[in-house]
Amino acid sequence: MVEDFEHCYRAVQSRDPRFDGWFFTAVTTTGIFCRPSCPARTPHRSHVRFYPSAAAAHEAGFRACLRCRPDVAPGSPEWNTRADVAARAMRLVADGIVDREGVGGLARRLGYSPRQLQRLLLAEAGAGPAAIARVQRAQTARVLIETTDLPMADVAFGAGFSSVRQFNDTVRELLGRSPTTLRRRCRHGSTENAPGGSHGAPAGARLSLRLAYRRPMACEALLGFLGARAVEGVETFDGHVYARTLRLPHGHGVVSLEPADDHVVASLSLTDLRDLAVAVSRCRRLLDLDADPEAVDAALAEDALLRPLVGSTPGMRVPGAVDGFEIAVRAILGQQVSVAAARSVAAGLTAGLGEVLEPGLGTDPALARLFPDAAAICGASDEQLATSAVRRAALRALAQEVAGGSMLIDPGADPAVVAAGLLGVRGIGPWSVAYVALRALGDPDAFAPGDLGVRRAVERLGRPGTPAAVLELASKWRPWRAYAMVHLWAFDSRVDAPRGTTEEAA
């Protein structure tokens, strides 16, 4: 359980939504657990227990509140920003690795034995990896129950359960209702915060979900960044809604992301419903939805240089990724060229090598292809890799490492190992390593002092813009230098100037 009882209880008394996802409140007299912001009457302190994760509360015998829906709260920023084994394990569980490879597969990825990993996660999250994955399956099942008219057998297997009986037993145990009761309750409109959706068939089904986040959030700046770098055929941005194609473990998908007052509406089309939880997890990482913006803003606003930028754009998020290899490829293409030029080369690469989506997946004909994977780039000709000889060599070397399994660029990767591997590829420099760390690995302290946009922004703010001077200045921004870099990029983009990316040698 969470040790600082008084701090947590005061948060519950204030019903402060900023603490949602940091911990969960369990009530012994009712047997349920809630978000800290649950609107129900505050229970007496003698009846309250606090847990670091929903899985820990479930393991202790509590079920999720049907009023505040703690299962759809933003995730803990602890797992979003840390790079230790526990945080990497939590991110991999969210990405579905336990369902695909089992606890043994997760342990192998992290270099631990299953028993060691079990002990580690019990200490950090209050539950082992199998229990955490079980809760995630129940949450996915709940979404499918409430947002589709699928038969319950399809819901069970789509959520990752091995049998309908296991599905029924788990839903009853963790959610306190049978699947049919949950669907009936949702149809009668008695569930607060229920995700909206459209009903359909398993293949190509379109689901509409609400992805919660902590306020404030600079949605316009984040989506604008992604839109300015949208690759034709893979991504679109109309000034308000960002959409893209997805390569997922069991098939393909298309998602559109539209900001709302306290959530982002994610409209998903999937070829296989087993990919729902993975798609949601990757969209959350793409938009940095589990961040704690008030903590980041408060730290950066202590510096006089950044204070005006933070004040003008509170809640800035770091743009993430749905595929780490894609970001590494785009980093190579973006070295020493403009954003527009890199985007054009990436579009040509996609047109020649990107896999075509299945007919009928999604409704936008502009979203027709997936970004090329490592195998496609390994087999590409010089004409298909329409870039310089140095970049072609770097792309092929990177693709061979990733395709062969010797380099993993995903939420569970060790940033130090990835950085060493990338720097070992001829043609990849420090700027690309920092860009991959920032976007693909979610490192909140990733920083590139040689980035041209950062240097130019610092100069326009009245400070020296040499890499050494910028690096010294940025020492005050730790451990949030990635957020500072995004602020500086946004400031630079508001000034009419030629768009560059870096002055580092590739």
Q: Is the pLDDT score of 73 beyond 90?
A: no
pLDDT at 95: 95
> pLDDT higher for 276 or 205?
276
Q: Tell me the whole-structure pTM to 2 decimals.
A: 0.91
494, two tokens: 């508001």
Per cent of the chain over pLDDT 90 is: 80
427: left (phi over 0), alpha (psi -120 to 50) or beta: left
- Tell me the mean pLDDT in the region 203-211: 79
Q: Which amino acid is at 137?
A: R
> pLDDT higher for 486 or 207?
486
Distances in whole angstroms, Cα of residue 425 to Cα of each of 228, 435, 491 = 28, 15, 32
pLDDT at 200: 42
Q: Which pLDDT tens digit goes with each residue over 309-339? A: 999 999 999 999 999 999 999 999 998 888 9
- Tell me the mean pLDDT in the region 71-90: 88
pLDDT at 2: 73
CA 343 to chain centre: 22
Handedness of CA 363, 369, 374, 376 (dihedral sign): positive
pLDDT at 188: 64
69, two tokens: 């829906």
Q: Where are the alpha helices (DSSP H) in 148-273?
A: 152-158, 164-175, 179-187, 219-228
Per cent of the chain over pLDDT 70 is: 94
pLDDT at 17: 87
Mind telling me the catalytic residues?
34, 451
- Tell me the mean pLDDT in the region 226-248: 97
Domains defined for the chain, CATH in brackets = 5-73 (3.40.10.10), 78-147+149-187 (1.10.10.60), 207-493 (3.30.310.20)
Q: Which pLDDT tens digit goes with each residue over 358-371? A: 887 877 899 999 99
- Tell me the mean pLDDT in the region 472-479: 96
Q: Is the pLDDT score of 69 beyond 50?
A: yes
Q: Is the pLDDT score of 504 beyond 60?
A: no
241, two tokens: 């809604």
Q: Is the pLDDT score of 454 beyond 60?
A: yes
Separation CA 53–CA 24 (nearest Å): 6
Q: Which pLDDT tens digit goes with each residue over 149-198? A: 889 999 999 999 999 999 999 999 888 889 999 998 877 654 333 444 44
Q: Which pLDDT tens digit goes with each residue over 16-25? A: 888 899 999 9
Separation CA 399–CA 378 (nearest Å): 6
How does the average pLDDT of the chain come out, rounded?
91
pLDDT at 3: 73
Three-class DSSP category at 251: strand
Residues 6+ apart with CB under 8 A from 60: 26, 49, 51, 126
Q: Which pLDDT tens digit goes with each residue over 277-316? A: 999 999 999 999 999 999 999 999 999 999 999 999 999 9
* End-to-end CA separation in angstroms for the chain: 49
- Tell me the mean pLDDT in the region 487-492: 96
